[in-house]
């Protein structure tokens, strides 16, 4: 079921998403070569709780941490651990919070000093692909218009747009209908309405779009072992465009 949010619900989603945004901004300041991913997870957890919100990932389908941290060839859902962040790493962090029953969800990709040109461009293009999608979004636009805008931009750089995972509606639940692919055909798919809230989250691979899951049951990696980047915001569809709630 696709829900249209009331102005009261939207206000709570603004708050949940600003907490997520601020958590990611805090992590951008704190992340350093030599830290473990678990240290970052702890910082995020404590920050979210301090804002009177709930870290939504913790315990979600049994997920054991408050953020997902995916490094280099890891696409999404990397589990924080004793792994040390190294020079040249590309680090994607995905974060969610629940505030008074409503969800926020966003992701950013950070580059450690010494990251090569391939990673620098991949992170930049992944972020820009999200904004290419925003250019076509408004009430009456179709999900295929959004997917096509993201896909055509990313593919113009020779990159692979991940197919196996997609964005999603969001609200009381982190994952609501509809599914929001980062690929598609313009003019096709669901017609969006004002008051819908969706998480748009391009996952873009330097090489091919094929991915596989590691034996931990969570971590998704590229099949060709080349790097992958992730960028996500929760957005509200309006009559004439979007309001990006987590920016």
Q: Using CB under 6 A as the criterion, which residues of the chain lie in contact with ligand MF3 when the complex forms?
A: 57, 60-61, 63, 68, 77, 94, 96, 105, 168, 199, 201, 232
7 binds, among Co ion, ligand MF3, none (CB under 5 to 8 A by kind): none
Taking the CB of residue 44, how many other CB atoms lie within 10 A of it? 27
Distance (Å, rounded) from C-alpha 108 to C-alpha 122? 12
68 binds, among Co ion, ligand MF3, none (CB under 5 to 8 A by kind): ligand MF3
**Which residues, 6 or more positions from 124, have their beta carbon under 8 angstroms from its beta carbon?**
none
Q: What is the DSSP letter of 80?
A: P
| Least separation in angstroms between CB 145 and ligand MF3 | 21
Tell me the window of 19-27, 80-88, 176-184, 197-205 that interacts with Co ion (CB under 5 A): 197-205
Distance (Å, rounded) from C-alpha 234 to C-alpha 247? 9
Residue whose Cβ sits closest to Co ion: 199
In this structure, are residues 202 and 128 in contact, taking their beta carbons and an 8 Å threshold? no
Q: Using the minimum distance from each CB to Co ion, give the nearer residue, 199 or 237.
A: 199
| Least separation in angstroms between CB 90 and Co ion | 19
Q: Using the minimum distance from each CB to ligand MF3, give the nearer residue, 76 or 115.
A: 76
Q: Using the minimum distance from each CB to ligand MF3, give the nearer residue, 26 or 139.
A: 26
Q: Using the minimum distance from each CB to Co ion, give the nearer residue, 115 or 203.
A: 203
74 binds, among ligand MF3, Co ion, none (CB under 5 to 8 A by kind): none
| Least separation in angstroms between CB 57 and ligand MF3 | 3
In this structure, are residues 4 and 139 in contact, taking their beta carbons and an 8 Å threshold? no
Distance (Å, rounded) from C-alpha 228 to C-alpha 151? 15
| Closest by CA position to 244, among listed 109, 137, 91 | 137
Distance (Å, rounded) from C-alpha 197 to C-alpha 235? 6
Half-sphere exposure of residue 79, counting CA atoms within 13 Å on the CB side? 15
The binder of Co ion chosen from 125, 198, 199, 200 (CB under 5 A): 199
| Least separation in angstroms between CB 163 and ligand MF3 | 15
Ramachandran area for residue 184 (φ above 0: left; ψ -120 to 50: alpha; else beta): left
Taking the CB of residue 241, how many other CB atoms lie within 10 A of it? 16
96 binds, among ligand MF3, Co ion, none (CB under 5 to 8 A by kind): ligand MF3
The binder of Co ion chosen from 9, 73, 105, 132 (CB under 5 A): 105
Contacting positions for Co ion (CB under 5 A): 105, 199, 201
């Amino acid at each position: 079921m696709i829900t249209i949010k009331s102005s009261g619900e939207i206000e709570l989603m603004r708050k949940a998403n600003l907490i997520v945004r601020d958590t990611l901004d805090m992590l951008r300041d704190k992340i350093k070569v030599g830290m473990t991913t678990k240290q970052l997870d702890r910082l995020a957890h404590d920050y979210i709780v301090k804002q009177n919100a709930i870290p939504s990932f913790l315990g979600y389908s049994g997920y054991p941490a408050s953020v997902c941290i995916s490094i280099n060839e890891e696409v999404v859902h990397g589990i924080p651990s004793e792994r040390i962040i190294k020079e040249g790493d590309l680090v994607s962090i995905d974060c969610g919070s629940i505030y008074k029953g409503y969800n926020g969800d966003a992701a950013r990709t950070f580059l450690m000093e010494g990251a090569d040109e391939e990673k620098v461009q991949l992170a930049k293009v992944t972020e820009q692909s999200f904004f290419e999608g925003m250019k076509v979004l408004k009430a009456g636009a179709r999900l295929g218009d959004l997917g096509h805008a993201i896909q055509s931009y990313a593919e113009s750089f020779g990159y692979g747009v991940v197919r196996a995972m997609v964005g999603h509606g969001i609200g009381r639940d982190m994952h609501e209908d509809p599914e929001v692919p980062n690929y598609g055909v313009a003019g096709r798919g669901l017609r969006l309405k004002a008051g819908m809230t969706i998480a748009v989250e391009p996952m873009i691979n330097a090489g091919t779009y094929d991915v596989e899951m590691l034996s931990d049951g969570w971590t998704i990696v590229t099949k060709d072992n080349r790097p992958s980047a992730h960028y996500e915001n929760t957005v509200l569809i309006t009559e004439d465009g979007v309001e990006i709630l987590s920016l």
